[in-house]
């Protein structure tokens, strides 16, 4: 297939582009390098050293003989996006090109506005471009389980059948997003449903859980292809943060009571889910939703697993409870359905089988790159502005520029 990966220089996008290319697809990447720029802005760097994108693509071609085309530009620029689709003529577009961190969207007004404009406008541009230029192209859009929030009922896959005053209907599952970022994803979902309904487009909305792991078969070919390992308090995941903390002897920082429960999946399952969606496209006019995760864990569950894994490697990790900077339930019911991708053939990897290899060993290998000042939360959901955080980030970026 001809597949265009928007945001192909990012964490999920890079692994997906290599995986699809290795499977024999004609892959192109669209990216504006924004993800790298946000690291400069915040004064952080991924734990693993990331090479320039053109170098990564050159190494991939040398190793495999397969070329991945690169289009550099911003999907919020409609003319650029349209010209790219004309040139690439994709049968499927995998859309990762969004600002994906809830804390980033909560820094202040500027970051909240940027997140929503970037994400919503980029997706709207894609919908209009597909309608005008490639109306049969299948859109595979990365959503998030965070759209649902933590309702006190089971979370269905996108839609729910309800009965009200003697009448029944199937409606989109109620959304309770917890940040301006998650709100942007809800807007995306509604815009896609509407576009499919009125224009007959075909789309798959993948509500993904928290992804972990750095290594896929393709990334493992060469050090130059290594993927991101973000552990900072803005773009890092809680699991990555715990592993980096354990590797340098820092307490594992649990927010609040630690009962916050979410869905998780291995990066190897992310790329397989994308492939399954591409191989089994939605019908014209259909906007289907898959809940893309394989296991559920609370923050305390993860802290205990990292403690045990670290101890096996000779590292002791204590747990430190911090006041939760977010506005969220610290103990709650959570049970989300996730059967549709399994039905299509997904064979999950499990965290208990990969924690040491995919996470702890990598954290230990690159422990000299850990900046412990990035562990503690500085973005607070309850403040309307965060000038001190922004000023600190700008000062850190000026000092850290030579590291990149």
Active-site residue list: 144, 181, 185
DSSP 393: H
Q: Which sign does the torsion angle of CA 288, 294, 300, 303 carry?
A: negative
**Nearest in space to 92 (alpha carbons), one of 175, 17, 10, 199:** 17
In whole angstroms, how far apart are CA 380 and each of 41, 186, 309, 376? Answer: 18, 22, 31, 11
The answer to whether the CB of 13 falls within 8 A of the CB of 31 is: yes
Q: Cα–Cα distance between 263 and 286 in angstroms, integer? A: 25
In whole angstroms, how far apart are CA 296 and each of 260, 302, 352? Answer: 10, 10, 12
Contacts of 79 (CB under 8 A, 6+ apart): none
User: Is residue 314 classed exposed, middle or buried when 0-12, 13-18 and 19+ CB atoms within 10 A define those classes?
Assistant: exposed
The answer to whether the CB of 251 falls within 8 A of the CB of 245 is: yes
């Amino acid at each position: 297939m001809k597949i265009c990966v928007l945001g192909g220089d990012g964490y999920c996008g890079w692994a997906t582009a290599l995986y699809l290319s290795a499977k024999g697809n004609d892959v192109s990447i669209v990216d504006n390098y924004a993800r790298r720029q946000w690291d400069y802005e915040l004064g952080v760097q991924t734990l693993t050293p990331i090479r320039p994108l053109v170098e990564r693509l050159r190494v991939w071609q040398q190793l495999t003989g397969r070329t991945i085309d690169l289009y550099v530009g911003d999907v919020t620029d409609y003319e650029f996006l349209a010209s790219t689709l004309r040139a690439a003529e994709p049968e499927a577009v995998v859309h990762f090109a969004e600002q994906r961190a809830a804390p980033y969207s909560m820094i202040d007004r500027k970051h909240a506005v940027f997140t929503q404009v970037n994400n919503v406008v980029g997706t709207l541009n894609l919908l209009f471009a597909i309608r005008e230029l490639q109306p049969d192209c299948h859109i595979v859009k990365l959503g998030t389980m965070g759209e649902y929030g933590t309702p006190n009922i089971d979370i269905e896959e996108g839609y729910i059948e309800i009965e009200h005053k003697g009448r029944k209907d199937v409606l989109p599952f109620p959304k309770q997003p917890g940040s301006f970022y998650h709100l942007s994803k809800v807007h995306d979902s509604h815009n896609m449903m509407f576009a499919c309904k009125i224009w007959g487009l075909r789309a798959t909305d993948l509500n993904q859980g928290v992804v972990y792991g750095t290594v896929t078969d393709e990334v493992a070919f060469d050090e130059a292809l290594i993927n991101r390992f973000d552990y900072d308090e803005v773009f890092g995941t809680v699991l990555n943060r715990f592993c980096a903390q354990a590797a340098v002897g820092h307490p594992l920082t649990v927010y609040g009571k630690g009962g916050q429960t979410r869905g998780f999946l291995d990066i190897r399952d992310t790329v397989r889910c994308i492939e399954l969606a591409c191989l089994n496209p939605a019908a014209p006019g259909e906007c289907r939703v898959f809940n893309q995760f394989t296991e559920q864990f609370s923050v305390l569950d993860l802290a205990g697993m990292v403690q045990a894994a670290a101890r096996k490697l000779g590292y002791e990790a204590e747990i430190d409870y911090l006041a939760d900077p977010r506005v969220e339930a610290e103990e709650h019911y959570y049970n989300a359905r996730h059967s549709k991708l399994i039905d299509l053939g997904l064979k999950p990897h499990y965290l208990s089988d990969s924690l040491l290899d995919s996470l702890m060993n990598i954290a230990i290998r690159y422990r000299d790159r850990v900046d412990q000042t990035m562990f503690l939360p500085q973005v607070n959901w309850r403040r309307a502005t965060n000038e001190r955080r922004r000023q600190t980030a700008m000062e850190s970026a000026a000092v850290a520029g030579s590291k990149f």
